[in-house]
């Protein structure tokens, strides 16, 4: 077994895979087309349950860091986050803030599998010197529009796309409360910024799989986010069995099939695999086309099995623009192993991308 695949095996144990059992039958949906609205699907159902005999944690350990929380979200659920950072961070020496969102079926502690923490004191994300603060909020055990065992579990609700900072909004006589996951991320970012230790021009997002989808969606709706660098994201606007696909647009939506993004000037790097779990590489192509049409500055990096850049998806691992479809066992297996290892060799490029894209002065 090569060193690369030993790392993949460790990642599989730590992360539990963000979209497991790609060849399994689709999960039961939460909504019918008739329930789709101006903010996509209805809110995810909170499970508070047990998945595959494992009690889903809501309070991370935060190895080597600080546990933040509990904080009650709008649904009354306790929310937690991990905070890591060098001692040099202070109001007189503010540092960039990198917010990492874990994949589904994982916890905030999976950030340890990314090697991002290795750069806390030395990586240069710009600003007043080397180093950054790393914040890793934790999701909830909810329903997902993902295949097989990932139909429920810890993760992020990127299907209910009401991210208005005003809270509850009314559209067409119907009230839509703010997405509780977005509210939790808001809370932990705001609390960190309030310390004075954060450079407000350099608040960045990152994430893995379902967490990457949520990071993209969140960053596109929050103008205070300067840039995002994520890994292996399904399209947060429509993937797999989601009945409420929407197209992101920079202006006012013309119908419920469109959703307005409030931060179209976002700079985004999406690192993904030519052969990925659940056949999601073509779904990443769909996302790239949508975002570029909306004016988003997207750097799209597709990697082959050796972690080298290529220009296109591997058709042996799926061709469905929604993800899934008829993927042979060989493609499903390879895609799984590619997906459950974070491309740590790309961390320097991700850091450089973020450094190059602070908010304007």
Least reliable range by pLDDT among 39-48, 77-86, 268-277: 39-48
Say what the pLDDT of residue 149 is: 86
Is the model's pLDDT at 72 over the cut of 80? yes
- pLDDT over threshold 90, residue 10: no
Task: Please give the domain boundaries of the chain with CATH numbers for all domains.
Answer: 3-355 (3.40.50.1820)
- Per-residue confidence (pLDDT) for residue 1, from 0 to 100: 35
Rg (CA), the chain: 19
Summarised one tens digit per residue, pLDDT across range 138-153 is 999 999 999 888 999 9
Picking from 260, 259, 110, 73, the residue whose alpha carbon sits closest to that of residue 184 is 73
pLDDT band at 50; cut points 50, 70, 90: low
Q: Is the pLDDT of residue 213 over 90?
A: yes
Q: Is the pLDDT of residue 137 over 90?
A: yes
- Is the model more confident about 26 or about 173? 173
Distance CA 256, CA 117 (A): 40
CB atoms within 10 A of CB 293: 12
Please state, rounded to an integer, the average pLDDT across all residues of the chain: 89
Question: Is the CB of residue 314 less than 8 Å from the CB of residue 272?
Answer: no
- Asked if 183 contacts 73 with a C-beta cutoff of 8 angstroms, the reply is yes
**Over pLDDT 70: what percentage of the chain?**
88
What pLDDT, in 10s, does the model give residues 90-111? Answer: 999 999 999 999 999 999 999 9
* Cβ-based neighbours of 61, under 8 Å, separated by 6 or more: 67, 109
Question: Which of the 8 DSSP states describes residue 20?
Answer: -
Amino acid 336: pLDDT: 96
Write down how long the chain is.
361
Output the pLDDT for position 32.
55
Residue range 299-343, pLDDT digits in tens: 999 999 999 999 999 999 999 999 998 999 999 999 999 999 999
Closest CA to 287 of 306, 272, 275: 272
What mean pLDDT is predicted for residues 221-239?
98
Comparing CA positions, the residue from 45, 44, 31 lying closest to residue 256 is 31
Q: What pLDDT was estimated at residue 290?
A: 97
How many C-beta atoms surround the C-beta of residue 251 within 10 A?
11
């Amino acid at each position: 077994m090569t060193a690369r695949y030993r790392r993949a095996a460790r990642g599989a144990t730590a992360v539990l895979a963000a979209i497991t059992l790609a060849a399994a039958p689709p999960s039961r949906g939460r909504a019918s087309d008739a329930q789709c609205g101006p903010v996509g699907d209805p809110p995810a159902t909170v499970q508070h349950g047990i998945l595959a005999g494992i009690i889903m944690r809501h309070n991370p350990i935060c190895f080597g860091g600080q546990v933040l929380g509990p904080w009650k979200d709008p649904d009354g659920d306790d929310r937690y986050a991990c905070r890591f950072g060098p001692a040099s961070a202070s109001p007189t020496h503010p540092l960039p803030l990198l917010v990492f969102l874990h994949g589904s079926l994982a916890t905030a502690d999976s950030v340890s599998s990314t090697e991002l923490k290795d750069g806390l004191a030395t990586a240069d994300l710009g600003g007043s010197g080397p180093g950054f603060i790393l914040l890793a909020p934790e999701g909830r055990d909810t329903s997902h529009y993902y295949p097989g065992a990932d139909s429920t579990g810890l993760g992020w609700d990127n299907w209910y796309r009401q991210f208005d900072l005003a809270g509850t909004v009314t559209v067409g006589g119907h009230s839509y409360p703010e997405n509780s996951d977005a509210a939790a991320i808001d809370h932990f970012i705001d609390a960190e910024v309030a310390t004075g230790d954060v450079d407000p021009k350099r608040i960045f997002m990152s994430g893995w799989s379902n967490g990457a989808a949520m990071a993209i969606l969140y960053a596109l709706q929050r103008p205070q986010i300067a840039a995002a660098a994520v890994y292996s994201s399904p399209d947060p606007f429509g993937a797999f069995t989601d009945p409420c696909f929407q197209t992101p647009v920079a202006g006012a939506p013309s119908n419920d099939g469109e959703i307005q993004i409030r931060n179209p000037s976002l700079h985004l790097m999406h690192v993904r695999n030519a052969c990925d779990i659940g056949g999601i590489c073509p779904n990443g192509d769909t996302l790239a086309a949508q975002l570029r049409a909306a004016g988003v500055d997207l750097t799209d990096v597709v990697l082959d099995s050796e972690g080298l850049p290529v220009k296109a998806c591997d058709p042996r691992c799926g061709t469905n623009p929604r993800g899934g479809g008829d993927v042979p066992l060989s493609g499903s297996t390879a895609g799984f192993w590619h997906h459950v290892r974070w491309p740590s060799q790309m961390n320097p490029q991700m850091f450089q991308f973020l450094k190059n894209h602070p908010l304007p002065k």
